[in-house]
Amino acid sequence: MPRIKWAGVISSAAEYQRGELAQNAKRLEMPKSVSEMMLKAIPFLIPSLVIIFLSMFLKTFMSREPVVSFLFVVLGFVVGFVLMLVHELLHAVVYPKGATVYIGIMPKQFAAVALASYPMSRVRFAVMSLLPYVLGIVPLVLFWLMPAEHKAVNGLLFGMAVMGLVSPYPDCYNVFQMIRQTPKGSKLQFYEDDLYYIGQE
């Protein structure tokens, strides 16, 4: 279990990502800014949007009536937004023992973050990146199972599912770049504003 620390308001990710970087580390080719990454990652948002749309369409079609209360869908969005800190905590808990992970908020980016600079295997990196999807998968499964007449609960669950399935799409982009740019057996490490891989000796 890593050490997890609350950092409060964070102005620069680089300040919290300055671990010991191996001399043979190689930087991955990644977007130069958060906004550029969000734009390039949009294709990884599409599967989540398709699942969200089909879930609502099919449940409504089979029930032959509206299945959600719009007010509670909005409330579900709000709950999902508050759970962004849990999203970052799910990233954090996957880091290896010995790592220190800083959780905080970046007001300019309107985002919560989990920041660390510690090498981890490709598999652990993928799990760390994708684990927050559970915040969308769990409420979506419950939405499927909930009877149509429970419109308030369905609305709450659907709003939470949307937030939970949409928010990790940049993390999915990171995993894709890891698979595309790094050899098997290497380790991944964030350092300052970049992502590096360390190959086997």
Q: Are 133 and 175 in contact (CB under 8 A)?
A: no
Confidence of residue 12 (pLDDT cuts 50, 70, 90): confident
Confidence of residue 201 (pLDDT cuts 50, 70, 90): low
What would the pLDDT profile of 82-129 be if each residue is shown by its tens digit?
A: 999 999 999 999 999 999 999 999 888 788 899 999 999 999 999 999
Residue 141, pLDDT above cutoff 90: yes
Q: How far apart are CA 138 and CA 174, in angstroms?
A: 23
Contacts of 171 by beta carbon, 8 Å cutoff, 6+ apart: 91, 129, 130, 132
Residue range(s) defining the domain that contains residue 151: 3-198
Confidence of residue 37 (pLDDT cuts 50, 70, 90): confident
The mean pLDDT of the chain is: 94
CA nearest to 43, candidates 172, 134, 160, 164: 172
Confidence of residue 190 (pLDDT cuts 50, 70, 90): very high
Residue 33, pLDDT above cutoff 90: no
Burial class of residue 10, CB neighbours in 10 A (0-12, 13-18, 19+): buried
How many domains does the chain divide into?
1
Q: In what order do the strands lie in the sheet with 187-191?
A: 26-27, 194-198, 187-191, 120-121
